[in-house]
Amino acid sequence: MKREPLNVPEALRQGRTLPYALIYSLSRMTLGPTPESVDLDELIEARFFNATEEVRIFRDETGLQAVRLVQEADDVTLNESFSLANRAAFGGTLTRTQTLDFDDDGQAFIACTRLTGWKEGPPNA
């Protein structure tokens, strides 16, 4: 997994090129197609993603931070999809990928978890 720190304006620029977003703000949460704009004043965390990369913007004690996570060809990964309960508001399924790494003793551990897919679903499915 390649990790690349970004400044917030660059993270927003790159994030808008990705098809999906999960955004937590003070007043609401959204999941689905990437919106045209993000209110940085209210932002808690934004995760823009596709199958191979995720751009995260998150708030810590110093303010907004950003990072880009990119899957590499030799990554060992686990994929898992979840059916969403509120399909009318959030869609049908959300997929996450966990990247594994190995310690000095050869024990596997989860080095990173990122969102990798979203599918719209019918409201009453």
DSSP per-residue codes, 40-77: TTTEEEEEEE-SSEEEEEEEETTEEEEEEEE--TT-EE
Name the DSSP class of 106.
S
Residue 125 lies in a domain: no
Q: Which two tokens stand for residue 65?
A: 């931070």
**37 and 93, same domain (yes or no):** no
User: Has residue 18 been placed in a domain?
Assistant: yes
Q: Are 11 and 68 in contact (CB under 8 A)?
A: yes
The per-residue pLDDT for range 104-118, each reduced to its tens digit, is 999 999 999 999 999
Confidence of residue 122 (pLDDT cuts 50, 70, 90): low
Q: Are 62 and 105 within one domain? A: no
DSSP state letter for 34: P
Let me know whether 63 and 24 are in one domain. yes
Please count the structural domains in the chain.
2
Range of the domain at 98: 76-119
pLDDT tens-place string over residues 38-60: 999 999 999 999 999 999 999 99
Best CA proximity match to 40, nearest among 70, 4, 15, 5 = 15
Q: What gap in Å lies between CA 21 and CA 23, rounded to an integer? A: 6
Based on the fold, state whether residues 82 and 39 are members of the same structural domain: no
Q: Are residues 9 and 66 in the same domain?
A: yes
